[in-house]
Amino acid sequence: MKFAVVREGAHQLRDRLAEKLVSTFVAHGHELCDETEGDLQMVLNLANADQPRPYRRRSRAVYVVTLVAANCLPDNAQREVYTLLVRSLSNLAIYAIPRDGDVDLHFTTLEAGFYHIPFDPEAVYQHVLPLATSQLLIQNEIIPDLPEAYWRGTPITQQMIHYGQELDHLGVLPAPFPIRELLSERDLRHVYRLYGITGLSYGNLSARESIPELGPTTFWMTARGVNKAKLSGVGQDLLLIRGYDSTQAAILVSVPPRHNPSARASVDAMEHYLIYSTFPQVGAIVHVHAWMEGVLSTQQNYPCGTGELAQEVVGLLQRTPDPSRTAVGLKNHGLTITGPNLDDIFGRIRGRLLTQVPMMT
């Protein structure tokens, strides 16, 4: 893997930690390069905690880790470190704090995981490498070929609107993160160009609807970054997924002629597509940033939208007694819940969801 280091100012603790991290990556055979290299995979962004400079990567394939250091954690640490991640346009933010002659590292991810470990360069390397080398599969091909009978929605899309509101009532639908309050218009355009993201909102719903003329695996899914408590219509907040094109690594999205040109499928669309393709009995999927006791969990906190996360979730489901009607955990993230339909899923989860996701190192 080729990686680069960019630096803003100087900070004794931050720069000392970064030197050890760089040495560890190089010792494992990775190549330290200039940030202008065309096939760069990771950037270590050494930023200031108070006013982090955004790093505008040239490609979505570049994984950005922002490292800052300070004397203590800010008040409301989870929110402030997440704000640091957003402002620096990073995939992973690390906040270093000295403690009793040692250093604690506090991590946060775009999925809002927030956990800490003592500083050990080898442990950090083993944590970061799988994330930095995972493959995002979030590109969409938008095709205006949705049959007219579906333009105004169906009973299934009406169910999705209803259950989006119920997620809000259950208290497991965090408020959309105010990305527009934190980023300049230039940075917002940059984020949309790379990721198709117009906002940060958590959780999603999908439900199978058989439309044979569009393909063998078709399902409705909430769009990227929308407020699931206030879903609107087809081609806006609800999109029809009709397949996956492996030649261009793109999710195929069928829309009516009149649609929101900025709308993109949820970044979890590949995971849902793989589940529906593998398990024909699955009729609906709910993803929430919540937890349930006794669930199997992924061992690595791969980013949303990666092929690695999709494959690991399918592998977990295959280990359960009934993959078509179960729940599995996503490490430091939340739950993926399957069922024959949304009525069944919500009947099973009411009263069982824990709003606090346990954080694991």
- Condensed to tens digits (0 to 9), the pLDDT of residues 294-339 reads 999 998 888 888 999 999 999 999 999 999 999 999 988 889 999 9
- CA-angle at 1, arms to 251 and 5, nearest 5°: 105
Q: Which residues pair with 219 in a beta bridge?
A: 208, 241
Q: What average pLDDT score do residues 65-77 get?
A: 90
Contact 187, 56 (CB under 8 A): yes
Separation of alpha carbons 20 and 7, rounded Å: 15
Residues with Cβ < 8 Å from 141, sequence gap 6 or more? 245, 248, 250, 251, 252, 253
Q: Which residue has the tokens 């906190």?
A: 301
Closest alpha carbon to 264 in 320, 226, 296, 294: 226
Query: In angstroms, rounded to a whole number, what is the distance separating the alpha carbons of residues 291 and 360?
Result: 13
Strands 114-118 and 102-109: antiparallel
At 102 the three-state DSSP class reads strand
pLDDT band, very low/low/confident/very high, at 193 (cuts 50, 70, 90): low
Domains, the chain, ranges and CATH?
A: 2-132 (3.40.50.10300), 139-349 (3.40.225.10)
Please report, as a single letter, which amino acid is at residue 183: L
Give the SS3 label for residue 310: helix
CA 56 to chain centre: 19
Work out whether strand 204-208 and strand 219-222 pair parallel, antiparallel, or are unpaired: antiparallel
Please give the model's pTM, rounded to 2 decimal places: 0.91
Average pLDDT for 86-95: 89
Q: How far is CA 90 from CA 26, 46, 114, 204, 300, in A?
A: 22, 11, 15, 22, 19
User: Which pLDDT does position 194 carry in this prediction?
Assistant: 53
Segment (H or E) for 342: helix 342-349
For the chain, the helix, strand and coil percentages under 3-state DSSP, each to the nearest 5: 30, 25, 45
Rg (CA), the chain: 21
pLDDT at 30 over 80: yes
Q: Please tell me the predicted confidence (pLDDT) of residue 58.
A: 83
Adjacent-strand bridge partners of 240: 220, 254
Q: Is the pLDDT of residue 158 over 90?
A: yes
Residue type, 36: T
Positive or negative CA dihedral for 107, 110, 112, 113?
negative
Q: How many CB atoms lie within 10 A of CB 194?
A: 18
Q: How far apart are CA 312 and CA 159, in angstroms?
A: 28
pLDDT of residue 355: 82
pLDDT value of position 238: 98
Contact between residue 202 and residue 174 where contact means Cβ atoms under 8 Å apart: yes
Given phi > 0 = left and psi -120 to 50 = alpha, else beta, which region is 61? Answer: alpha
Percent of the chain with pLDDT over 90: 65
More confident residue, 38 or 29: 29
